[in-house]
Amino acid sequence: MELTNEQVQQVENYLDNKSFDFIDLKLEILDHLISDIESFIDKGFSFDNAFKATVLKWDKHFKDSSSFYFGLLYSESKIVVKKAVKIFKPFYFLYLTAYFLPLIILKKFSFTFSINTIDYFDTLLNTLSVIFLIYLIYIIVKVFKSKVKTTYSFILRTQYLGVVFLIIPLLSGKHFNDKGEMNPIFTGFLLAGFAVTYICFYFYKKHKDAIKKYKISYS
């Protein structure tokens, strides 16, 4: 038996009370909850009892949860964190590779550059860092100001500390030591910073796409 509009609203209120307002997830979770309730009603339950039984089954999915991938400070409903982890995992490894690979290579092998090359690279890397930093800050501000939440905006909110990776080498201004060798730590920081910028660019695009897709559906 199909629920009435008032009953559907009651189910939606339950999600709102759980602060479950992720636009990319709400639609299908609401549909699943309603389908569960309808199935209980078909078995002879009253709406109130069917609703209670469904809530009992679903409550655990809305409990606050966090993940090692984002840091324990960032928590959200378990169902949101699970989706975020599944999507973010490959990017987390990109992040680690961007930091540790140059670090290991430059510690093992030393590459010496001439003064002219050093000047050229210092200017190039500093310019790129400034451009990426501005773009990263722009995304962070946009996401923090946005009233619409998606799983992607949750991921983006956990990435803002990544600006540190760009700021530290930028403050030093030099990516080479006195012998003309690349600084392994700063290079690792810089590439991790570039990786964070790419990750933020990717998820910000996903966030905007999700808003477009689901806002049209809701309207």
Partner 1 sequence: MGNQKLYKGSLQTIILKLLETNDKMYGYEITQKVKELTKGELKITEGALYPALHKLEADGLLDVEIAKVGNRLRKYYKLTESGSKETANKLEEMQEFLKTMQHLVNPKLSLE
Q: Which residues bind partner 1 (CB under 8 A)?
A: 2-5, 8, 25, 27-32, 34-36, 58, 60-61, 78-79, 82-83, 85-87, 151, 213-214, 217-218
Residue 181 token pair: 């060798």
Q: Give the residue with the Cβ less far from partner 1, 22 or 95.
A: 22
Question: Cβ 23 to partner 1, closest distance in Å?
Answer: 12
Q: Are 211 and 160 in contact (CB under 8 A)?
A: no
Q: Write the DSSP symbol of residue 4.
A: P
Residue 34 token pair: 């309603």
Question: Cβ 62 to partner 1, closest distance in Å?
Answer: 11
CA atoms of 36 and 24, how far apart (whole Å): 20
Nearest to 100 by CA among 28, 184, 163: 184
Question: Cβ 197 to partner 1, closest distance in Å?
Answer: 20
Q: Are 182 and 175 in contact (CB under 8 A)?
A: yes
CA atoms of 166 and 12, how far apart (whole Å): 42
Question: Cβ 169 to partner 1, closest distance in Å?
Answer: 32
Q: Give the residue with the Cβ less far from partner 1, 78 or 183.
A: 78
Q: Give the residue with the Cβ less far from partner 1, 28 or 178.
A: 28
Q: Give the residue with the Cβ less far from partner 1, 68 or 109.
A: 68
